[in-house]
Every structure is written in structure tokens, then in C-alpha cells.
Structure 1
């Protein structure tokens, strides 16, 4: 047999502790190598992982798999490979490319195993909404996002994609295991609990307060995708322990979302696919409604002195050092076909990466908010 005998993929989904797991994988790379598991990763990403910062793992789904493997010479001699990216489930279920075929072509004789974390829909949708505002330039409100949330149905498509290439899919529910997340990952790898080091930070890639969220939304409207570099990125990187808050959602919108999720999760195919111990739990409207502010009620947003200082520093740096890059990204957004949102995801990506390197911040290229 040529090539690795086993290739394992952690495919997300986003906002299920992926950044935490990836930090542990990067920091524990040498130990994994001793155990015969090759986790290839670029030096800069490994350095970020060691200090508990966001890495998005060791795959770039926007690239072809061949391009990714070419960056990692150790792949050629590895018997067991491990890859992680929180957006990989999106690429595997995309109708625009056949990433599964790329995987099977690259590893024609290997056993393929996939791990996907799911999360109870209400809490996951809120967290995913925060992510699309934080990192993907989304300007809509949470109710708009709830209407397009599709993760249970996407899980069915992921299962089909994995089976099509002869792989096996393991499903774990983050909502059941958030306090022992690494242990569930180690169990999937067949390793004893405690093999992977705990990340340097207990919380990585936090969600936002309502004030931070509304500020980021306003910047998204006027500056576009690149504005995360001066608002949410520095706030989350430098103040990781601030408690997040749920956004405002009208009661009728929340009720409609809960009803739709109840219907989708009752699909017999999902019931058969998700193990009983990992099953989705939706909850009732009365159970959730009190957590969500009324969007029509007046609200004053507050910021601590530390938040204000971080924002002032980031904006000052952007004005003095990054203005050409930010302007180039915004100009490209206005001119590109498909409008600002599409251009911010595509034409401005190079400018975003250049600016991210200057600030040592992650790029967050996932267009679906699973980054």
C-alpha cells in the first residue's frame, strides 16, 4: 500500500469548539507525531495555536486539496494523517465542487474517517449569527439569519458526501460535551484522555456583547468585510474572557424558528443518523424567549474602558498603517459583480490576508459564518 493507511478529517461545524480543538492540536503536534499521527501545520499557525489564538486548523478549503498537500512535505511519508477545518463540512456539501472526489483521488487506498460536531439549534444559530457578523461582513439582524439557518439538513448532505467516497462519519453534540470537548476528540482518535494539552486560553474565538455586535454590524455596512480587523478581531483576541450576550429577536421569529427546527429534526433520516446520546434538543419557546431582548425596546450599549482602549488602538493603527489596504478592499467591493458582500468575500481577500499578516490576526475566510 502506498500513502497513508488512515486519513481523518475534523470537519466542524463552526461554533462547536473548533478553535479550541485546533489550538490543542497545534500545541500537541509533537506528541501526536510520537504516537504516529501526523498533523501537518504551517509554522505561523502552529505558533498561534501554542498561545491559544485562532488558527482555522491546517486546511484551506478555498484551495484545492492538492495545493494544501503540496505545502506539507511530511504527508508523503505519513501513515496516519489528521486534518481539521471548521468549514470543511461546507465544502464537502457544496454543489459547486466535488471536494470528496479530491480527497479520494489524493488518498485512493486510505481508510477515511470524518468527525462532525453538531450543536443544539437555538444556541448554535445565535452563535453562528455572531460569527457571520464578526468575520463575514453580514449586516442583517438575527431574525434574518434564523430564516436561512440550515445545519440539520446540511448534516444529511454531509453524510451522503462521506458515504459517496467510502468514508465513515462520527457525530458528537457539542452541547452535550462542551466541558469535556478534548476528551471526545481524543476518544475519536483512539487516544487516552489527557493526551492533548489544554489550550493556553480557556476560551478561544468568543462571541460578542450586544454593543460589540451592533458596532461591528455598523462597520460592516460602511466599511465591509475588512472592518473585522478593527472591531471584533482585536476585541476577541485581546479580551477573550468577556461574557457574550444574545442578540435581540422578535418572539414570533423565534417561535417560527423553533417550529421549523422541530420539524426538520423529526426527519427519520436525521433520527437514524444522529446517535441517541448526541441527539439535537430544540426546547420550547417559553424556555428560550426570556433570553432574547425585544428588538423594538430602546437599549443603550455599554463598553468597558478596556474595550474602548482596544478599539481606539485598532482603529488608530488602521488609519495610520492600513488605510490603503482597507480602501483597496472596499473599492473592489463596490466594483465587483454581485455587490459588496460577494466582492468582500472574493476580490478583497488578498488585501485581507495582507492586513491580517501585518496585525498577526486570522483571515476568517469562511463565507458561511462557520469559521
Structure 2
């Protein structure tokens, strides 16, 4: 039987962490279908619902660096492990495969040729997402890295649709047989897309209470920006975890703030309208991308960020801890300097 390699490409913010959790938990079932899921050192994390970059990260990095022979050797090693398990197919998942098409599409094309030369069949899966949803979801994530100005970020640093454009340009020359789907927050839909409609099984797993990669609210992240300069990295991480654990009912409603961001996407959507239409030619008709142009004459809505009492209580607690720590450090420095002075006097 011809060997196969399945590549789940992401893209980012389309449920990859959840899909990777499903794959990791279904490893035994996949083996029964003769599909081997190579592990890396993060395998235990994803089993516990902790987001990782996926089991394809190392492979994609080698391809990115142009180390194609090393990448091929890694695949060959994984194939040997698969044969021991009586499997004839490999499955790699990582959003980093998608990001290869930002600057390194030629490397992927060359890597494909190495695999095709060994008579290996290549299957790919790429999820898209409605443009405005993806923009807002990505901004929430990037906001943590100090992106505050939405319009500047969207114009200069939001790279997603530039990568898709590059992907579509080289698509006619790709050897990988791709399936394309539109992301849905419905987890049963995601599982069915992967296991039944891509891999071709008559079953698909489901993790009911999965909370992989829960997002911080923008108000959470803004508070994090205020404290980040004065917290140690472990304290900052602890602060965000505390905010993440807060029930959404204890946080301010951000719909008006988000709606204001959406109002600022019109120029961007018009710029990439033709690209969205090209994507829709790839997707099932009932999964076509949806977007809406906002009339720029509309009155802008709330632009400020508000905070709840529960959020401010956590913020105050950490601020007090910083003040106490700062006082202790100051006292320590004062004692040290006094000791030096006393020692000099004695001499």
C-alpha cells in the first residue's frame, strides 16, 4: 500500500489546539487505522489540554531553515517508528506549516519533491475563518504582546491574508492534495471535518468540556500591560492566570468595544475582497466566508476599556505585592549601604 503523510496546516485561530488535543487523545484509535502520530517532548502537555505548537513544529522549522535533507531524515525516522506499530501513514499538525508560505514557500515545494520522489502521497488540511472574526481573534492574541493601536496593527502587522495570497499563488504547483474548510466554534464540526471528512473514518472523537486555549478579555490584557513593566515574568504569568480563571460574568461586557474595532475594518476588507472570493471557490458552498462592510459614516461607538470590580481586586492585590517587594528590596539596599558606611567608620 502507498504510504501517506497527512499535514494539518492550521491556520492559526481556527481551533488547532483543540484539534491537536483530539488527535493526541485518539492516538490508539489512529493506530488501528494504520495512522501514526509522531510525538515530541510536548505530547503530555497537549493531552492535558495545554496548547502547544503541535507535533509538526520541528519538521516545519527544518523546512523553514532550508535543511530539507534533515527534514526528510526526520520523516524517515518517524516512518520507521510507524512500521513498528504496523502503520503506513504519518500525521503532523502545526500552524507553522501555514506560516511557511509567508517567506519560505519554495522550501515547502522542494520538500514535497523529496517526498513525492519516494512515492509518498501527501494530504493537507487547511482551515480558513470569516475575515472579521479572524482579525478580532488574532488582535486579542497579539494585544498581549503590546499591540494597542488596532488600526496600525491591522495595516502593518496583520499578516494572515498576505500569507493566504502567497499560498494561493503557488497552489497550482503544490503536490499536496488539500482539503479546505471554514472554522466553526462548534467542536463536533471541527472533529467531523478532521476525522470523518479528511481522514475518511466513520467515527470522530469529542471532548465535551474542552477549554483549550481560553482567551483573555481585552480588559484583562490591558490590565496586564499596566503591571507587566513592574512584575517578574513568573508574577506576570500568575496574574494573567488569575484573570483567566475569572468567570466571564464577572468581567465587563466588551461588545461595544469590539463593535468599534469591527467598524475600523472596512478599508481592509475592501482591499482583500478578491482574495476572500478566491477562498470561497475552495470552500464547501455552505461554509463560504462571510463578511460585512461597515458604513464609515456610522457614529463610532465606545472606544474606552472598562474594568470590573473583580478584575480590579486582582490588580490591586498584585500591585500591593509589588509595593511590598519594592519596599523590602529598598530596605535591603539601605541596610547594605549602612553596613558599608559603618565598616568604613570603623576602619
Distance in 2 between residues matched to 1:139 and 1:62, nearest whole Å: 26
SS of corresponding position for 1:300:
coil
Residue in 2 that maps onto 1:212: 220
Select which of 300, 323, 331 maps to 2:307: 300
After superposition, residues 269-348 of structure 1 pair within 5 angstroms as: 269-285=278-294, 294-295=302-303, 297=304, 299-303=306-310
Residue in 1 that maps onto 2:343: none
Residue in 1 that maps onto 2:46: 49
* Higher mean C-alpha deviation, range 117-126 or range 67-76: 67-76
Structure 1 residues 242 and 14, CA, compared in 2 at 3 Å: closer, same or farther? farther
- Residue 51 of structure 1 contacts residue 201 of structure 1 at CA under 8 Å; is this kept in 2? no
Deviation at 1:57, TM superposition (A): 1.4
* Higher mean C-alpha deviation, range 75-84 or range 28-37: 75-84
SS of corresponding position for 1:188:
coil
Distance in 2 between residues matched to 1:161 and 1:178, nearest whole Å: 31
For normalisation by structure 1, the TM-score amounts to 0.66
Deviation at 1:40, TM superposition (A): 0.6
Distance in 2 between residues matched to 1:225 and 1:117, nearest whole Å: 33
- Residue 143 of structure 1 contacts residue 249 of structure 1 at CA under 8 Å; is this kept in 2? no
- Residue 35 of structure 2 contacts residue 89 of structure 2 at CA under 8 Å; is this kept in 1? yes
Residue in 1 that maps onto 2:122: 112
Structure 1 residues 119 and 50, CA, compared in 2 at 3 Å: closer, same or farther? same
Residue in 1 that maps onto 2:56: 59
Kindly indicate whether residue 134 of structure 2 is the aligned counterpart of residue 124 of structure 1: yes
Residue in 1 that maps onto 2:332: none
Distance in 2 between residues matched to 1:73 and 1:231, nearest whole Å: 42
Distance in 1 between residues matched to 2:229 and 2:10, nearest whole Å: 28
Aligned length: 300
Structure 1 residues 228 and 216, CA, compared in 2 at 3 Å: closer, same or farther? same
* Higher mean C-alpha deviation, range 112-121 or range 98-107: 98-107
SS of corresponding position for 1:82:
strand
Distance in 2 between residues matched to 1:57 and 1:255, nearest whole Å: 34
Structure 1 residues 75 and 246, CA, compared in 2 at 3 Å: closer, same or farther? farther
Residue in 1 that maps onto 2:30: 32
Gaps of 5+ in 1: 320-371
Bigger Rg over Cα: 2
State the superposition RMSD in angstroms.
4.0
Gaps of 5+ in 2: 326-347
Residue in 2 that maps onto 1:335: none
Kindly indicate whether residue 263 of structure 2 is the aligned counterpart of residue 266 of structure 1: no
Residue in 1 that maps onto 2:176: 167
* Higher mean C-alpha deviation, range 55-64 or range 68-77: 68-77
Which has the higher relative contact order, 1 or 2, with Cα contacts under 8 A spaced 6 or more apart?
1
Distance in 1 between residues matched to 2:267 and 2:291, nearest whole Å: 9
- Residue 13 of structure 1 contacts residue 118 of structure 1 at CA under 8 Å; is this kept in 2? yes
Structure 1 residues 104 and 302, CA, compared in 2 at 3 Å: closer, same or farther? farther
- Residue 139 of structure 1 contacts residue 221 of structure 1 at CA under 8 Å; is this kept in 2? no
Residue in 1 that maps onto 2:90: 81
Deviation at 1:14, TM superposition (A): 1.0
SS of corresponding position for 2:122:
strand
Distance in 2 between residues matched to 1:111 and 1:15, nearest whole Å: 27
Deviations 1:288-347 (A, max 9, x none): x99x9622x4633544599669x96xx99xx9xxxxxxxxxxxxxxxxxxxxxxxxxxxx
Deviation at 1:274, TM superposition (A): 3.5
Distance in 2 between residues matched to 1:163 and 1:222, nearest whole Å: 51
Distance in 2 between residues matched to 1:67 and 1:224, nearest whole Å: 38
SS of corresponding position for 1:98:
helix
Distance in 2 between residues matched to 1:239 and 1:158, nearest whole Å: 38
Structure 1 residues 218 and 229, CA, compared in 2 at 3 Å: closer, same or farther? same
Residue in 2 that maps onto 1:12: 10
Structure 1 residues 170 and 96, CA, compared in 2 at 3 Å: closer, same or farther? closer
Residue in 2 that maps onto 1:322: none
Structure 1 residues 203 and 62, CA, compared in 2 at 3 Å: closer, same or farther? same
Select which of 235, 239, 246 maps to 2:245: 239
Residue in 2 that maps onto 1:189: 199
Distance in 1 between residues matched to 2:166 and 2:30, nearest whole Å: 31
Deviation at 1:31, TM superposition (A): 1.2
Deviation at 1:26, TM superposition (A): 0.9
**Larger % of helix: which?**
2
